[in-house]
Amino acid sequence: MSLASLLTAEQIIPEMKATERWPAIVELIDLLVGLDKIKTADRDSILASLKQREETMSTGIGFGIAIPHCSSDRLEEVVAAFGRSTGGIEFDALDNAPVKFVVLFIVPKNQFQTHLRTLASIAKFLNDRAVRESLAAAKSSEEILSIFLDRSQKL
């Protein structure tokens, strides 16, 4: 499952306000709640699942990338958001570098294979330096989305 198929321009924050891991996750979740991708009543439950996952091990995987994720019995389909920070977010990443790109996704509880495939697809996509450089240079959420769409057609 590619980022292009999970995101709309509205689900992308071209410049995040948060400068630390947990506020960054909350910023993306609140975006999804505001777009009715997550019900307001489910917000705290999903945040608790994300926090539990982050406490196990940071999802800051290095190269300026973080992929906070969890599964939830409150959703019927995969939900995602993307945030970019030109200043960087302190994420306790594996390489201790600030995070510039945050891909948050939540998968329905009973879809373990989807969870693994989505995570692998996102990590592989962002592992490409040219992709990260394009994303860093993009001027808007529409431009960021077009990079995801363009790359997904080449894979």
Q: Is the pLDDT of residue 154 over 80?
A: no
How far is CA 94 from each of CA 5, 49, 142, rounded to the nearest angstrom?
28, 21, 30
- Could you tell me the pLDDT band of residue 92, with boundaries at 50, 70 and 90? very high
Answer yes or no: 69 catalytic: yes
Cα separation of 143 and 92, whole Å? 28
Residue with token string 């960021």: 144
Q: Which of 21, 69, 84, 151 is catalytic?
A: 69
Give the model's pLDDT for residue 20: 96
The per-residue DSSP string of 54-119 comes to HHHS--EEETTEE--EEEETT-SS-EEEEEEEEEEEB---TT-PPEEEEEEEEEETT-HHHHHHHH
Give the model's pLDDT for residue 130: 93
- Per the structure, how many domains does the chain have? 1
Cα separation of 109 and 124, whole Å? 23
Q: Is the pLDDT of residue 94 over 80?
A: yes
Q: What's the whole-model pTM score?
A: 0.94
Q: Is the pLDDT of residue 45 over 80?
A: yes
Q: Which structure tokens are listed for 78? A: 């995969």
Give the model's pLDDT for residue 90: 96
Lowest-confidence region among 32-41, 42-51, 64-73, 106-115: 106-115
Cβ–Cβ contacts within 10 Å for residue 5, how many?
Answer: 13
User: What is the domain-level CATH number for residue 57?
Assistant: 3.40.930.10
Structural contact between residues 118 and 127, judged by C-beta atoms closer than 8 angstroms: no
Structural contact between residues 127 and 135, judged by C-beta atoms closer than 8 angstroms: no
Domain span including residue 92: 3-154
Lowest-confidence region among 35-39, 75-79, 149-153: 149-153
Per-chain mean pLDDT for the chain: 93
Over the stretch 1-21, which tens digit does the pLDDT of each residue have? 678 889 999 999 999 999 999
